[in-house]
Amino acid sequence: MFSDYAALIVLLPVIAFVLTLFLGKRLYSGGALIPIAAIAGSFIISLGIFFEIYPGGMVQQSIPWFSSGISQMNMGILIDPLAIVMLLMVSFVSLLIHIYAVGYMSHDPAKSRYFAETSLFTAAMLSVILSDNILQFFISWEVVGLCSFLLIGFWYHKPSAAAAAKKAFLVTRVGDVLFLAGIVMLYVNLVEIINNPANAFKIEPGNFLLQFKTMFEAIPLIDKTQLTYITLLFFGGAVGKSGQFPLHGWLPDAMEGPTTVSALIHAATMVTAGVYLVARTFPMFVATPDTMSAGVPDSLLIVAYVGGFTALFAATMGLVMNDIKRVLAYSTVSQLGYMMLALGTAGTVLGAGAVGISMFHLISHAFFKALLFLCAGSVIHAVGTNDIREMGGLFSKMKITGTTMFIAALSLAGIGIPFLSIGTAGFFSKDRIIEGAFEYGEKTGDLIPYAFAVIAALLTSIYIFRLWFMAFTGKPRSDRHSHESPNVMTVPLMILALFALFFGFSQLAFYGYVETNFELMGVEIAIHEGEAVHPPVLIVLLPVIVGVLGFLISYAIYYKRMLDMSKIISSENPLYKLLLNRYYEPKIGADLIGVKLTHDVVAQSGEFIDRKIIDGLIIDTIISNTIFKIGGLIRKLQTGVVQNYASITILGVALLLVILRLKFGGI
Amino acid sequence: MALYSYLLISIIIFTIGVYGIITQRSGIKILMCIELLLNSANLNLVAFSSYNGNSTGQVFALFSIAIAAAEAAIGFAILVALFRLRDTINLDNINILRW
């Protein structure tokens, strides 16, 4: 019954967007109740569909959109296990963030614009998840990008926010162009396959060209080298959207938006789209050649390395940031790296199981990261600054925020009790990823991704507890007064904290459910042969050990103050300088590539050609002069006297009559 | 023979109308000339209708008269508005649309 209304999952927030935009100003709290009701509706429908299709069911609906020759495109809905878990997570987390925002944005004069845009943002993300074809996926993906631009630049009168919005838009655009190129390449390949009679490949009635189903069926027929390029281009899109190295720079800058927007972007509605893209097209990634034999690298290997490197790279920067939201932003980049790492490494050894592992981390990350951001928002709301050096001792005043943030930190650090299967959500999800990386290392002899993952886990634990200890313990380092946030903000925190604590227990059911995803679509993913690896006890324990170790290090340094950090934190220390300047990424990205290369070289020479040669020589002297002269002559005809016009008209009609009479003799 | 005389009158009225539009400078006179044009056409319609024994033309002439009334009302309204604005309805002075 609920499946019949699947389209409403997207349409409700879209309607809420229109209503809030036009009517919001006159309603309570900028019309916040409309998006909240709409997203709650989306969540309820998603939940209903989940109970209808669990386990082993799917919802497929599609209508023709346009067609030209064999290029028949459609718009449609595909809800498989992969999509339904994402739908539930996105609508649920987004709902909580919207409720929280009623409190958080209460002082903002442009509330109705905020709620309209976040509603559209959620709708776009839900549409990405629901898409059954890559074209619709891409369109929704672009709408997500647009909304992120609008929301990051929400306080557009602040120059830094406007710049951050532009940066986010431009950097993700690089990825989007790659993604689009991948789609074009895929399209060309599919058309070739269908036109080649030797393949006997045809699209069944009711199916369409760029549907995921058709794409997966065509995988064995696509040239392997081409397939690798297509998947790498798709991955390029995912790198842009999910803030992977080297396109990660926009994500920390995106902190210029309201904190609730950061929570939305980081937990629910944007950055996970990249991971979801790779998961969605995972059969294509798995089908790429395993070795360098084809002359091209294995896509999964690249996914694993980019992910692993990003996980470590971002975590190092998280260690030194002083802005509470920036630390969390680097943490997101790092955790997204983990998800990519899981797809890459576990994909090689476990096949379809990797999707389950990665998605499980994605969803548990969504819970604890949304929680972290909302806690940070609560702190910022109370203290009025982002700088953790000016906080301290907040726990006595903000017990709920402090406790829930501690739970989120535990979950992010992946702390739990091994063997008893008791632990936070992050414990189960991250553990499984690191084990997967180890199995990959065992089978291929390549332990580098595993090493990346373990070191990043240690750094994760250090930076998140550093944040917590600096903000909530010790003596207040500034005389800002602080207070606990209102209920409308703390209740979502507590709900999210419950999920961050207990979501992990669903892991076995979750893996089993999502693993069947591609089987349901009739796609076989080759699982690599070989004995299941049973990692040594130390390997199983290592993630927890480094998690606890990180906690102890932070405890010693930032709570007990056993080590004088002032010697290390100084502009003398080159390593600290490098990290604090974020590996000079803003300098390289904005100043070198943006200003020097793009503006000074490309744009300036383009301007020279346009202004001096095309405008100056050709247009000014030749075309425009001639036209001006002729025009000057002709415009004398316009006397402005109506009678002149009338006379000419009558003369013309008379002339026409004479001509007709002479020519045809009739009339 | 009867038709011929009707058409002759129609042509004369039409020509007077055209002559008036071209030569006159006062807006009101031009509007009156336009009415002459319309009425010459109406006369034509009725004449042919009567000649062919078909009432369609007569009905059409009725429509045409009704529309002419509306057109005249709008035309005079424009002239009144123009007079308030410029204190003149002499079309020679109303030429801001020229080059």
Number of Cβ within a 10 Å radius of residue A452: 25
Task: Find where tokens 């020229």 sit.
Answer: B98
- The answer to whether A634 contacts chain B (CB < 8 Å) is no
pLDDT: is A314 or A507 the higher one?
Answer: A314
Minimum Cα–Cα distance from A646: chain B residue: B22
Asked if A640 lies within 8 A of B23 by C-beta distance, the reply is no
**What's the pLDDT tens digit per position in A97-123?**
888 888 888 888 888 888 889 999 999
The more confident residue out of A279 and A70 is: A279
Count of residues making up chain A: 667
* pLDDT reading at A550 higher than 90: no
Range of lowest pLDDT (A3-7, A312-316, A388-392, A532-536): A532-536
Which candidate in A636, A643, A644 is best for mutational testing of the B interface (most B CBs within 10 A)? A643
Task: Determine the pLDDT at residue B63.
Answer: 92
Are B96 and A641 in contact (CB < 8 Å)? no
Low-confidence spans in chain B with pLDDT less than 70: 1, 97-99
Residues 20-59, chain B: which have Cβ within 8 Å of A?
Answer: 21-25, 30
Percent of chain A with pLDDT over 90: 8
Nearest CA in chain A to B24: A643
Query: In this complex, which of B91, B96, B97 lies closest to A643 when CB atoms are compared?
Result: B91
Contacts of A647 in chain B (CB under 8 A): 22
* Chain B interface includes A641 (CB < 8 A): yes
Cis peptide, bond prior to residue A55, ω within 30 of zero = yes
Q: What average pLDDT does the segment A349-366 reach?
A: 83
Residue A420 has pLDDT above 90, yes or no: no
The string of pLDDT tens digits covering residues A618-643 is 777 788 888 888 988 888 877 777 77
pTM for this model (two decimals)? 0.76
DSSP state of A591: I
Average pLDDT (A131-135) is 88
Tell me whether residues A640 and B95 touch, CB distance under 8 A: yes
pLDDT digits (tens, 9 = 90+) for A464-501: 888 888 888 777 776 666 677 777 788 888 888 888 88
Rounded Cα distance between B80 and A147, Å, is 53
A638–B97 CB contact, under 8 Å: yes
Look at A443 and A118; give whichever has higher pLDDT. Answer: A118
For residue A568, the model assigns a pLDDT of 63
Is the confidence at residue A293, as pLDDT, over 50?
A: no
How many residues does this entry show for chain B?
99
Contacts with A643 from chain B: Cβ below 8 Å: 21-25, 91
Task: Return the closest-CA partner of residue A352 out of A294, A281, A432, A302.
Answer: A281
Q: pLDDT value at position A534?
A: 67
CB contacts, 8 Å: A636 with chain B = 99
The per-residue pLDDT for range A62-99, each reduced to its tens digit, is: 888 887 777 788 888 888 888 888 888 899 989 988 88
Rounded-to-integer distance, Cα A511 and Cα A356, Å: 5
ipTM of the complex: 0.73
What is the rounded distance in angstroms from the CA atom of residue A411 to the CA atom of residue A404?
Answer: 11
- Give dist(CA A364, CA A371) in Å, integer: 11
Q: Which two tokens stand for residue A527?
A: 């699982």
* CB distance A87 to A46 below 8 Å: yes
Q: Stretch A260-281: mean pLDDT, rounded?
A: 86
Q: Is B60 left (phi over 0), alpha (psi -120 to 50) or beta?
A: alpha
Residues in chain B closer than 8 A to A640 (CB atoms): 94-99
Mean pLDDT computed over every residue of chain A: 82
Nearest to A309 by CA among A245, A357, A247, A266: A245
| Residue of A633, A635, A637, A641 to mutate, testing the B interface (most B Cβ within 10 Å of its Cβ) | A641
Which one of B14, B15, B21, B94 makes the best mutation probe of the A interface by having the most chain A beta carbons within 10 Å?
B21
Q: Where in chain A are the domains?
A: 298-506+540-579, 584-664
The closest CB to that of B22, out of A639, A640, A643, belongs to A643
- Is the confidence at residue A294, as pLDDT, over 50? no
Contacts for A266 with CB less than 8 Å, ≥ 6 apart = A251, A328, A329, A332, A369, A370, A373
- Indicate if the pLDDT at residue A421 is higher than 80: no
CB A343 within 8 A of CB A361: no
**pLDDT above 50: residue A644:** yes
Please state which of the ranges A155-169, A512-526, A563-577 shows the lowest mean pLDDT.
Answer: A563-577
Among chain A residues, the shortest Cα distance to B22 is held by A643
Q: Which residues of B touch A641 (CB under 8 A)?
A: 91-92, 95, 98
Cross-chain residue pair B98–A640, CB shorter than 8 Å = yes
Encode pLDDT of A224-247 as tens digits.
Answer: 888 888 888 999 999 988 888 888
Contact B98 A639 (CB under 8 A): yes
Continuous segment of H or E residues that includes residue A454: helix A448-472
Interface A-B: count of C-beta contacts within 8 A = 30
Among chain A residues, the shortest Cα distance to B23 is held by A643
A163-199 pLDDT per residue, tens: 888 888 888 888 899 999 999 999 888 888 888 887 7
CB contact under 8 A, A639 and B23: no
| From B18, B92, B96, residue closest to A650, measured CB to CB | B18
Residue of chain A whose alpha carbon sits nearest to that of B95: A640
Q: How far is B96 from chain A (nearest CA, A)?
A: 7
Over residues A582-588, the mean pLDDT reads 71
Residues of B in contact with A639 (CB under 8 A): 95, 98
Distance CA A375, CA A365 (A): 15
Q: Does A631 touch chain B (CB under 8 A)?
A: no
Identity of the amino acid at A426 = G
Interface touch A638/B99, C-beta < 8 Å:
yes
Contact B21 A636 (CB under 8 A): no
- CATH class given for the domain over B2-93: mainly alpha
Closest residue on chain A to B26 (Cα): A643
Measured between beta carbons, the chain A residues lying within 8 angstroms of B92 are 641
Judged by a CB distance cut-off of 8 A, whether residue A635 touches chain B is yes
B99 with A640: Cβ contact below 8 A: yes
Chain-chain contact of A643 with B18 (C-beta, under 8 angstroms)? no
Beta bridge pairs of residue A416: A423
Which of A635, A639, A647 lies nearest to residue B22, judging by beta carbons?
A647
pLDDT category of residue A526 using cuts at 50, 70 and 90: low
Residue-level pLDDT at A367: 87
pLDDT value at residue A570: 63
Do the beta carbons of residue A179 and residue A148 sit within 8 Å?
Answer: no
Q: Is B98 in CB contact (< 8 Å) with chain A?
A: yes
CA distance A277 to A231: 10
CB proximity A646 to B under 8 Å = yes
